[in-house]
Amino acid sequence: MAVENLIEKLEAIVSKEKPTWHENAKFRGDQGDWLKKSQAIAIKVNGIIREKGITQKNLATLLKVSPQQVSKILKGQENLTLETISRLENALGTSLITVIESSARMPSEGSYLLYK
Protein backbone atom coordinates (compact mmCIF):
# COMPACT_ATOMS: atom_id res chain seq x y z
CA MET A 1 0.00 0.00 0.00
CA ALA A 2 2.82 2.44 0.84
CA VAL A 3 4.48 1.67 -2.51
CA GLU A 4 1.26 2.48 -4.38
CA ASN A 5 1.04 5.85 -2.61
CA LEU A 6 4.67 6.58 -3.44
CA ILE A 7 4.13 5.74 -7.09
CA GLU A 8 1.05 8.00 -7.23
CA LYS A 9 3.00 10.85 -5.64
CA LEU A 10 5.91 10.40 -8.05
CA GLU A 11 3.57 10.34 -11.04
CA ALA A 12 1.95 13.57 -9.84
CA ILE A 13 5.36 15.24 -9.57
CA VAL A 14 6.53 13.99 -12.95
CA SER A 15 3.36 15.19 -14.66
CA LYS A 16 4.04 18.72 -13.37
CA GLU A 17 7.52 18.89 -14.88
CA LYS A 18 8.24 21.74 -17.24
CA PRO A 19 8.74 20.98 -20.93
CA THR A 20 12.18 19.85 -22.01
CA TRP A 21 14.55 22.03 -24.00
CA HIS A 22 13.53 20.10 -27.12
CA GLU A 23 9.82 20.90 -26.60
CA ASN A 24 10.68 24.55 -25.93
CA ALA A 25 12.82 24.74 -29.09
CA LYS A 26 10.05 23.18 -31.17
CA PHE A 27 7.54 25.67 -29.76
CA ARG A 28 9.84 28.61 -30.59
CA GLY A 29 10.34 27.26 -34.11
CA ASP A 30 6.61 26.82 -34.67
CA GLN A 31 5.86 30.31 -33.31
CA GLY A 32 8.94 32.02 -34.76
CA ASP A 33 7.32 34.89 -36.64
CA TRP A 34 5.39 36.47 -33.80
CA LEU A 35 8.10 35.63 -31.25
CA LYS A 36 10.72 37.59 -33.22
CA LYS A 37 8.46 40.62 -33.45
CA SER A 38 7.46 40.34 -29.81
CA GLN A 39 11.12 40.12 -28.79
CA ALA A 40 11.97 43.21 -30.85
CA ILE A 41 9.24 45.14 -29.04
CA ALA A 42 10.42 43.72 -25.69
CA ILE A 43 13.95 44.96 -26.32
CA LYS A 44 12.67 48.44 -27.06
CA VAL A 45 10.32 48.50 -24.05
CA ASN A 46 13.12 47.29 -21.75
CA GLY A 47 15.34 50.12 -22.96
CA ILE A 48 12.61 52.71 -22.48
CA ILE A 49 11.71 51.65 -18.94
CA ARG A 50 15.39 51.58 -17.97
CA GLU A 51 15.84 55.05 -19.48
CA LYS A 52 12.80 56.46 -17.70
CA GLY A 53 13.38 54.61 -14.40
CA ILE A 54 10.05 52.79 -14.57
CA THR A 55 9.83 49.52 -12.66
CA GLN A 56 7.96 46.46 -13.87
CA LYS A 57 5.49 46.98 -11.05
CA ASN A 58 4.91 50.61 -12.11
CA LEU A 59 4.41 49.54 -15.71
CA ALA A 60 1.93 46.88 -14.61
CA THR A 61 -0.02 49.56 -12.75
CA LEU A 62 0.00 51.88 -15.77
CA LEU A 63 -1.20 49.07 -18.04
CA LYS A 64 -3.67 47.74 -15.45
CA VAL A 65 -2.27 44.23 -15.74
CA SER A 66 -0.43 41.91 -13.37
CA PRO A 67 3.33 42.15 -12.85
CA GLN A 68 3.52 38.60 -14.25
CA GLN A 69 1.95 39.82 -17.50
CA VAL A 70 4.52 42.61 -17.73
CA SER A 71 7.28 40.08 -17.10
CA LYS A 72 6.08 38.02 -20.08
CA ILE A 73 5.96 41.14 -22.26
CA LEU A 74 9.48 42.18 -21.23
CA LYS A 75 10.81 38.70 -21.98
CA GLY A 76 9.27 38.78 -25.46
CA GLN A 77 7.17 35.73 -24.65
CA GLU A 78 3.78 37.34 -25.12
CA ASN A 79 1.84 37.37 -28.39
CA LEU A 80 1.00 41.05 -28.22
CA THR A 81 -2.28 42.36 -29.55
CA LEU A 82 -2.54 45.75 -31.19
CA GLU A 83 -4.50 46.86 -28.13
CA THR A 84 -1.64 45.87 -25.82
CA ILE A 85 0.93 47.56 -28.05
CA SER A 86 -1.17 50.73 -28.08
CA ARG A 87 -1.51 50.66 -24.28
CA LEU A 88 2.27 50.20 -23.97
CA GLU A 89 2.84 53.16 -26.30
CA ASN A 90 0.48 55.36 -24.27
CA ALA A 91 1.99 54.30 -20.93
CA LEU A 92 5.54 54.91 -22.14
CA GLY A 93 4.81 57.99 -24.23
CA THR A 94 6.53 56.57 -27.30
CA SER A 95 5.82 54.77 -30.54
CA LEU A 96 6.67 51.07 -30.76
CA ILE A 97 5.35 50.37 -34.25
CA THR A 98 4.34 52.51 -37.19
CA VAL A 99 1.51 51.69 -39.53
CA ILE A 100 2.07 52.88 -43.07
CA GLU A 101 -1.28 53.37 -44.70
CA SER A 102 -1.94 53.18 -48.42
CA SER A 103 -2.97 56.40 -50.12
CA ALA A 104 -6.10 54.66 -51.43
CA ARG A 105 -9.35 54.89 -49.47
CA MET A 106 -9.61 51.11 -49.05
CA PRO A 107 -6.93 49.14 -47.20
CA SER A 108 -4.75 47.35 -49.70
CA GLU A 109 -1.70 45.15 -49.89
CA GLY A 110 0.35 48.34 -49.50
CA SER A 111 -0.30 48.57 -45.73
CA TYR A 112 2.46 47.25 -43.50
CA LEU A 113 3.56 47.28 -39.90
CA LEU A 114 7.08 48.51 -39.34
CA TYR A 115 9.06 47.97 -36.14
CA LYS A 116 11.28 50.80 -35.08
pLDDT digits (tens, 9 = 90+) for 79-109: 899 999 999 999 999 999 888 876 655 555 5
SS (H, E, C) the chain: CHHHHHHHHHHHHHHCCCCCHHHHHHHHHHCHHHHHHHHHHHHHHHHHHHHHCCCHHHHHHHHCCCHHHHHHHHCCCCCCCHHHHHHHHHHHCCCCEEEECCCCCCCCCCCEEEEC
Identify whether 106 is part of a domain. yes
What is the domain count for the chain? 1
What's the domain range around 69? 33-115
Identify whether 9 is part of a domain. no
Identify whether 67 is part of a domain. yes
Identify whether 89 is part of a domain. yes
Which CATH number do you get for residue 84? 1.10.260.40
Q: Is the pLDDT of residue 116 over 60?
A: no
pLDDT of residue 16: 63
Average pLDDT, the chain: 81
Q: Answer whether 0.75 is exceeded by the pTM.
A: no
Identify whether 49 is part of a domain. yes
pLDDT of residue 77: 82
Query: Average pLDDT of 6-32?
Result: 71
Identify whether 64 is part of a domain. yes
Identify whether 3 is part of a domain. no
